[in-house]
Amino acid sequence: MLLKVSNLRVAFRADKHTTVEAVKGISFDIPHNRTVALVGESGSGKSVSSLAVMGLLPPHSTVIDPRSSVLFEGREVLHQTAAARRAMCGKDIAMIFQEPMSSLNPVFTVGFQIGEVLRQHMGMGRRAARARTLELLEEVGIPEPAAKIDAYPSQMSGGQQQRVMIAMAIACAPKLLIADEPTTALDVTIQKQIMELIASLQKKHQMAVLFITHDLGLVAEIADEVIVMRQGEVREAGDARAVFANPQDRYTRALLHCRPSLDTRPRRLPVIADYMDDGALPVQPERVRGRAPGDEIVLDVRGLKKSFWLRAGLFGKREFAAVKGVSFQLARGKTLGVVGESGSGKSTVGLTLLRLHQASGGSAFFEGRDLLAMDAKAFQPYKRRIQIIFQNPYASLNPRFTVGQILLEPMRLHGIGASDAERTQLALALLERVGLPPQAYQRYPHEFSGGQRQRIAIARCLTMKPEILVCDESVSALDVSVQAQVLNLLQDLQDEYGLSYIFISHDLSVVKYISDQVMVMHQGEVVEMADADELYRNPQHPYTRALLAAIPRAA
């Protein structure tokens, strides 16, 4: 057995007298040359378990039970000296982290950072380390490695950054590779490439892989064994095929069914709590989606263009066309899904419609008036009628404001409500509408989970009583159950208020579930548009077919 974890208990000190137990006595094994998936929602303890193995938990605030044991090739890991742990981790055990931009140092080139691993653990000189770094960049599929070796992380795409992290992890040919949510923020085609790369490297280097994720669709494709965690405990473990074919634990069944399916569209998505109760789930009727010829058009976009100017040489500049003549119509009370890879221009379309980017050409007619041709004063009344929910609720909420202040500020700016007392009542009603208690009004964003913060962001949009909501990757970073809750909320709000959505996402299962019509973008252009069911059933463009083929089969 390569790695044997026994009775691992990890707690964090909340204050001098209180500890919070994050991992509650879990045990599991990782055999040689096998892929074991650790699955669960945020807060389940899966990442804490891997960080405990790597010795990366903060020592001043972490309590590891002395009876816990982590054996790597028969050696006890938890009681090693810092120097011994440092020599082992990075060489025999390596880790790929979830967010490459947070893990790569922005002030050093990628070549220097990979070379540092080789110099530290393999004792290579600079010339030998550089030559080996070029080989690693080529092995992980970085284009033009001789040029990219001297690039900085910010000069590379998200997929390329993750490939650099993988090159760094395999540099010393580790026996165990820990991959902590390595594809969460990547679009479906890049995700597939990264997973295929990890699988090929595992076979080539004879590594074991511990793959940490909340996406069971991925697990079904790559894992030999699966361990399901919830609230610091192992709920189910076994052969991956057996667990997927016949899950024994309610929580495992919940994770499998909360994610939108490509085959059905229930009126409401089930959430974890539905499965944890004893009663049987009620049969949900199907929700009919699609555009009808008589639907009222609320937004008519024609030939939208957006270019950015990039520096070229010392004094020159060159044009980069991010959006190239995009046209579409949005019907009242309907959802237009916008899909495509990173860099396809889908988010730029949304931001340009809200005039957060200045359009380079085209028009966007709302009630007969071109939003893009108005001056700032004329556009002011329309700001409240077209709102946006951003991808990252951690960055879009002011950490210095209470939730009450976050909700009241836009109402004051736009003159909604006769007094602060009236605005407060409206804010409290909106918190209740998005499923948050009244006590949330006095609290700060950092006191809430990611899903709760996204609900606050939705409530802030609703203070404006908008008619159009641009949802820019607004559920992509959420766990499957929280994602289901937010999607149900968006459906309810659309049913109640007749909202129109532009739903931008790289998650094709979610887009099919919530969209009436889907627009596929590639390199700034629309390559295909059709009703959601028709597009998924009979895609016409090769790029659309490639996107659909990249969806994990259990999704």
pLDDT digits (tens, 9 = 90+) for 101-117: 678 898 999 999 999 99
**What confidence tier does 306 reach under pLDDT thresholds 50, 70, 90?**
very high
| Mean predicted lDDT score pLDDT of the chain | 87
What pLDDT is stored for residue 17 in this prediction? 79
**Residues with Cβ within 8 Å of residue 349, at least 6 apart in sequence:** 304, 306, 323, 326, 338, 502, 504, 521
Distance CA 296, CA 266 (A): 25
Three-state SS string across 462-493, please?
Answer: HCCCCCEEEEECCCCCCCHHHHHHHHHHHHHH
pLDDT over 60 at 413, yes or no: yes
Whether the model clears a pTM of 0.85, i.e. scores above it, the answer is no
Of all residues in the chain, what percent carry a pLDDT higher than 70?
A: 97
Pairing, β 361-366 against β 297-312 = antiparallel
Amino acid found at 460:
R
Residue-level pLDDT at 350 = 92
Residue 540 half-sphere exposure toward CB, CA atoms < 13 A: 13
Question: What does the pLDDT average to over 285-290?
Answer: 87
pLDDT band, very low/low/confident/very high, at 281 (cuts 50, 70, 90): low
- pLDDT over threshold 90, residue 5: yes
CA-based torsion, 244, 246, 248, 254: positive or negative: positive
**Residue 477 confidence (pLDDT) above 70:** no
pLDDT recorded at residue 436: 86
Q: What superfamily would CATH give domain 297-549?
A: P-loop containing nucleotide triphosphate hydrolases (3.40.50.300)
CB 385 within 8 A of CB 468: yes
Domain boundaries, the chain: 297-549
Whether the predicted pLDDT of 555 surpasses 60: no
Q: Environment class of residue 415 by beta-carbon count within 10 Å: exposed (0-12), middle (13-18) or buried (19+)?
A: exposed
Least trusted range by pLDDT, from 29-33, 255-259, 337-341, 549-553: 549-553
CA distance 337 to 509: 11
Reading phi first (left if > 0) and then psi (alpha if -120 to 50, else beta), residue 313 is in: left
| Interval 40-49 mean pLDDT | 85
Q: What pLDDT does 427 receive?
A: 93
* Token pair of 389 as six digits: 């929910």
Q: Out of 48-52, 260-264, 329-333, which region has the weakest mean confidence (pLDDT)?
A: 260-264
Nearest-10 Cα torsion for 375, 381, 385, 390:
60
Phi, psi (deg, nearest 5) at residue 436: -115, 145
Mean pLDDT of 107-132: 91
Contact indicator for 269, 513 with CB cutoff of 8 Å: yes
Task: Say if residues 101 and 164 touch (Cβ distance below 8 Å).
Answer: no
| Predicted pLDDT at 280 | 63
